[in-house]
Amino acid sequence: MAETWAVLAALLFLLICLVEGPAYNLVSVEAGQEAVLSCPYISKVPLLMVTWKMKCSPCCLLAYRSDHNETKKLNCSERMMWKYSPDRDPALRIYPVNLGDEGNYTCEVASSAGNYLFSSSLTVTVPPTVTLTCDNSRVAVCQAAAGKPAADISWIPASNQSTEEELHHPNGTVTRVSYIRWVNSMLPTLTCLVTHPATNQTLSIDLSDTSPRLPYLLIGGSTSVAAVSGMTLCLIFRCRAFRLRKLAHGSSVPFATKNFRSTPSCEKKDVDKPPALSESTYQNYNPRTIYMNY
């Protein structure tokens, strides 16, 4: 009988400890936003002292003592402060929050009615950077970079041809990449769905614009170069022909071509004018066979 009472007393003590144990609060905040960790002290007795601690060594310690109306901060960033007046609501404010603030925090309250302990667990989420690209081999790549936790990627239309890769970074973020090859060229668009606690994004790509354009650009460039080169040669030939006409009609400098030859006479003073050049003179004209005799 005595043993039975001892067991019942132990169970009752355990139940009381579970009910009156420290409160626990889960807080999840996106990086760059404000995190508020509450310390729900509701006793009618004024508190004497409240202390916030982060469970690491050495980490932040933020304390307030009412009898001296004094606050102290040890190893705490300027981003950590009281949300309100600590004697009325001793909540802790962290702004802007970052990945280094993630962890467990405790709020200890001392009053004439006793000591109270409240615990909070802070989780920081990071939205990923989402991109959707494709290449000439008809492979689409959807990437959710540096997210925390890792994002989920799905495709529309759904396909069992997709593959995924993950890259874990030292700061706790994860990059997830999904690859898919599309076979049906009749599909108008391909859509990538990225699901994450901090953000949901949808990116689409027009499959009709994924044909390679570089060969056409090169062909067009070659044609342009050929056209410019041809125009340049044409101008050169016209300039040379014009020079030949000028020499034939108005210059005393003799000249020769493949089908026409003129030699000066030094014995006669009255030099006969050369006959006018007809169109037949230039029928076999070749700019490369011009020889000037001076």
Handedness of CA 108, 109, 110, 116 (dihedral sign): negative
Superfamily grouping for domain 129-209: Immunoglobulins (2.60.40.10)
User: What stretches of the chain show up as alpha helix (H) in DSSP?
Assistant: 2-19, 214-250
Domain boundaries in the chain?
Answer: 21-125, 129-209, 214-292
Which residues have C-beta within 8 Å of that of residue 104, sequence separation ≥ 6?
54, 55, 119, 120, 121, 122
Q: Which fold has domain 21-125?
A: Immunoglobulin-like (2.60.40)
Each residue's pLDDT, cut to its tens digit, for the chain (294 residues) gives 555 544 444 444 344 344 444 567 999 999 999 999 999 877 778 889 999 998 776 788 999 999 888 999 998 889 999 999 898 899 999 999 999 999 999 999 998 888 989 999 999 999 999 999 988 888 999 999 999 999 999 999 888 889 999 999 999 999 999 999 877 667 788 999 999 999 999 999 887 765 544 333 333 444 444 454 555 555 555 655 556 565 555 544 444 434 333 333 333 344 444 444 444 433 444 444 444 443
Global pTM? Answer: 0.60
